[in-house]
């Protein structure tokens, strides 16, 4: 199913178009990761707004819940947790129900189209074997073929999200097929073929791998001076004071390197993001982003308001908390962030390397930059947007543009006092979290493009920086929805 291009109107896009094993199931095309960040959809001149997250370990996130004592949200899938799991009880399953009907992704106009296309699939007998013989006893009207070949959002649908005319009984059956397809995908993503627990670190926890001195130093910085494990939970305590030694035995031998929570790390706006430029109607009469650079990614905050570009918040008692989470996005697992195709063995210049994009908007182009950001965000903070660092400074080296969203910024990192070598050791440790060490990672060898080489990880991709245009105020459809962000977002 992940590789079935028929689950898109133009039969040209599958989940795998944006998620392939060799990239840890994140964005598979280096030039996209380097530039526009979001991957083109079934309509190739439409694209989303964020980096493609990795599949491994996503199935382990719990149903989104508000913890009243901590005043924090935990769980859900997607950067903004909008796949809550509220209905299916599996966030990762609800996640899978998003892309097929996302106008900028696989773009089917109606969820019934998934049942329709599955009913024609070569693997239909397998589906029926698992989910029952009568699964596809649905009377699809003859116009279904035509409707499902037209991308969602097209003006002809007049905003309807259920243009396939089905009887209530058939609609229910089609919904059930859609739920079952989601559960099947979740089951695969949760299997050891995807969420493998087969990294050097897993072998280390089991006692049959000895970490190199750099890996061990990186590990100690990860749960020490770097303070990384206070969010990317590694099953150990945090030993912040120098000289403090961790004498505990591992409390958890399958740590997921996430706390399932959300945080705003203060990442700068990335003006390369394709979303900002889709401001005029496409040939189907659809405008992905009428607000252009007036769009701001408020992450979880926009989701709680059921706002523009997100999903519907299923729990009205959560709406009031939106201002407390504006700018927050999911603490992704640090596992497999460093995964690359075998022939380009690293994400880091000079390589030969495979270009990835890190964080929700792909602003970071190497893990070195990512760690350097946690280390020096507040030390080299400038009140400028990307592309406008003052003369004499170098963006991402000794100049960090201001955060896209200044509210609710996490202050536990930002000035860690790590040396250059310590940053590199953390990168080496992150690489030890890549699956495929104790046994080969399935299908990792399918990259047919070229590796990149040259330059340095600190400035990797800087030649593709562009000046952010003067920013219009945040659009009222984003920042003007009650309860409004506090303080107001300019």
Binding stretches for ligand HEC (CB under 6 A): 2, 13, 15, 17-19, 38-39, 41, 48, 50, 52-53, 55, 58, 77-80, 92, 95-96, 99-100, 105-106, 185, 226-228, 230-232, 263, 265, 267, 329-332, 334, 337, 358-360, 370-371, 374, 410, 412-413, 426, 430
Strand-pair partners of 26: 20
CB of 142 to ligand HEC, least distance (A): 27
Looking at the Cβ atoms of 166 and 231, the one nearer to ligand HEC is 231
**How many other C-beta atoms are found inside a 10 Å radius of the C-beta of residue 245?**
8
CB of 391 to ligand HEC, least distance (A): 28
β pairing state of 72-74 and 262-263: unpaired
Quickly tell me which residue has 């699939």 as its tokens. Answer: 121
Q: Following DSSP, what letter does each residue of 97-132 receive, concatenated?
A: TSGGG-TTTT--SSTHHHHHHHHTSTTHHHHHHHH-
Q: Distance between CA 230 and CA 256 in Å, rounded?
A: 12
Contacts 24+ apart (CB under 8 A), 207-212: 209/437, 211/432, 212/428
CB of 30 to ligand HEC, least distance (A): 15
Looking at the Cβ atoms of 58 and 384, the one nearer to ligand HEC is 58
CB of 309 to ligand HEC, least distance (A): 8
3-state secondary structure of 164: coil
Cα 353 to chain centroid distance, Å, stands at 21
Q: Distance between CA 121 and CA 1 in Å, rounded?
A: 10
CB of 459 to ligand HEC, least distance (A): 19
Q: How far apart are the first and last CA of the chain?
A: 43
Looking at the Cβ atoms of 416 and 465, the one nearer to ligand HEC is 416
Looking at the Cβ atoms of 163 and 266, the one nearer to ligand HEC is 266
For residues 474 and 489, the answer to whether their CB atoms sit within 8 Å is yes
Task: Using the Cα atoms of residue 281, residue 283, residue 286 and residue 288 in order, give the sign of their dihedral.
Answer: negative
DSSP letter for 353, please.
Answer: B
Looking at the Cβ atoms of 218 and 323, the one nearer to ligand HEC is 218
Looking at the Cβ atoms of 96 and 432, the one nearer to ligand HEC is 96
- Stretch (H or E) spanning 263: strand 262-263
DSSP letter for 34, please.
Answer: H
Looking at the Cβ atoms of 52 and 177, the one nearer to ligand HEC is 52
Looking at the Cβ atoms of 5 and 388, the one nearer to ligand HEC is 5
CB of 22 to ligand HEC, least distance (A): 16
- Nearest CA among 458, 264, 325 for reference residue 380: 458
Looking at the Cβ atoms of 73 and 137, the one nearer to ligand HEC is 73
Quickly tell me which residue has 């201001």 as its tokens. Answer: 402
Q: What is the largest CA-CA distance in the chain?
A: 73
Quickly tell me which residue has 């080489």 as its tokens. Answer: 453
At 168, give phi and psi (nearest 5°): -55, -40
Looking at the Cβ atoms of 165 and 345, the one nearer to ligand HEC is 345
For residues 98 and 15, the answer to whether their CB atoms sit within 8 Å is no
CB of 346 to ligand HEC, least distance (A): 14
Both structure tokens of 262: 């959300």
Relative orientation angle of helices 367-376 and 420-431, to the nearest 10 degrees: 130
Looking at the Cβ atoms of 32 and 344, the one nearer to ligand HEC is 32
3-state secondary structure 422-434: HHHHHHHHHHCCC
CB of 167 to ligand HEC, least distance (A): 26
Both structure tokens of 448: 């047919």
Looking at the Cβ atoms of 111 and 150, the one nearer to ligand HEC is 111
CB of 343 to ligand HEC, least distance (A): 22
CB of 261 to ligand HEC, least distance (A): 7
Q: Distance between CA 226 and CA 63 in Å, rounded?
A: 29
Cα 362 to chain centroid distance, Å, stands at 10
CB of 16 to ligand HEC, least distance (A): 8
CB of 10 to ligand HEC, least distance (A): 12
């Amino acid at each position: 199913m992940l590789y079935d291009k028929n689950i898109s109107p133009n039969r040209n896009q599958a989940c795998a178009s944006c998620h392939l094993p060799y990239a840890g199931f994140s964005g598979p095309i280096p030039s996209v990761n380097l530039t526009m960040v979001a991957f083109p959809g079934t309509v190739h001149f439409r694209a989303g707004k964020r980096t493609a997250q990795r599949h491994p370990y996503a199935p382990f996130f719990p149903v989104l819940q508000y913890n009243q004592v901590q005043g924090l949200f935990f769980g859900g899938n997607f950067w903004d947790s909008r796949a809550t799991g509220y209905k299916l009880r599996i966030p990762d399953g609800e996640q899978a129900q998003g892309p097929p009907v996302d106008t900028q992704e696989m773009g089917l106009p109606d969820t019934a189209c998934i049942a329709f296309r599955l009913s024609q699939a070569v693997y239909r007998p397998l589906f029926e074997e698992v989910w029952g013989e009568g699964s596809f006893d649905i009377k699809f009207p003859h116009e279904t073929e035509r409707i499902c070949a037209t991308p969602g959002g097209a003006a002809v649908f007049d905003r309807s999200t259920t243009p396939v005319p089905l009887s209530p009984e058939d609609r229910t059956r089609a919904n059930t097929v859609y739920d079952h397809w989601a559960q099947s995908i979740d089951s695969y993503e949760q299997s050891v073929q995807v969420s493998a627990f087969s990294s050097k670190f897993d072998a280390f926890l089991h006692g049959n791998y000895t970490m190199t001195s750099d890996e061990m130093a990186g590990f100690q910085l990860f749960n020490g001076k770097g303070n990384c494990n206070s969010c990317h939970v590694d099953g150990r305590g945090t030993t912040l004071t120098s000289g403090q030694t961790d004498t505990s035995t591992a409390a958890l031998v399958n740590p997921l390197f996430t706390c399932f929570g959300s945080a705003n790390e203060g990442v700068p706006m990335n003006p390369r993001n394709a979303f900002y430029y889709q401001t005029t109607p496409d040939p189907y009469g659809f405008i992905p982003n009428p607000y252009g650079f007036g769009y701001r990614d408020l992450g979880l905050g926009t989701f709680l308001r059921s706002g523009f570009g997100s999903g519907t918040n299923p729990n009205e008692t959560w709406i009031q908390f939106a201002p407390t989470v504006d700018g927050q996005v999911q603490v992704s697992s640090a596992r497999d962030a460093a995964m690359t195709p075998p022939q380009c063995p690293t994400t880091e210049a000079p390589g030969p390397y495979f270009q990835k994009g890190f964080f929700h908007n792909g602003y970071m182009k190497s893990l070195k930059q990512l760690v350097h950001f946690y280390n020096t965000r507040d030390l080299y903070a400038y009140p400028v947007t990307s592309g406008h660092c003052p003369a004499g400074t170098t963006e991402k080296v000794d100049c960090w543009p201001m955060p896209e969203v200044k509210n609710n910024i996490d202050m536990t990192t930002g000035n860690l006092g790590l040396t250059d070598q310590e940053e590199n050791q953390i990168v080496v440790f992150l690489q030890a979290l890549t699956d495929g060490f104790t046994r080969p990672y399935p299908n990792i060898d399918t990259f047919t493009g070229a590796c990149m080489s040259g330059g340095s990880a600190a400035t990797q991709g800087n030649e593709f920086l562009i000046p952010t245009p003067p920013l219009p105020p945040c659009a009222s459809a984003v920042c003007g929805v009650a309860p409004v962000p506090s303080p107001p977002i300019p």
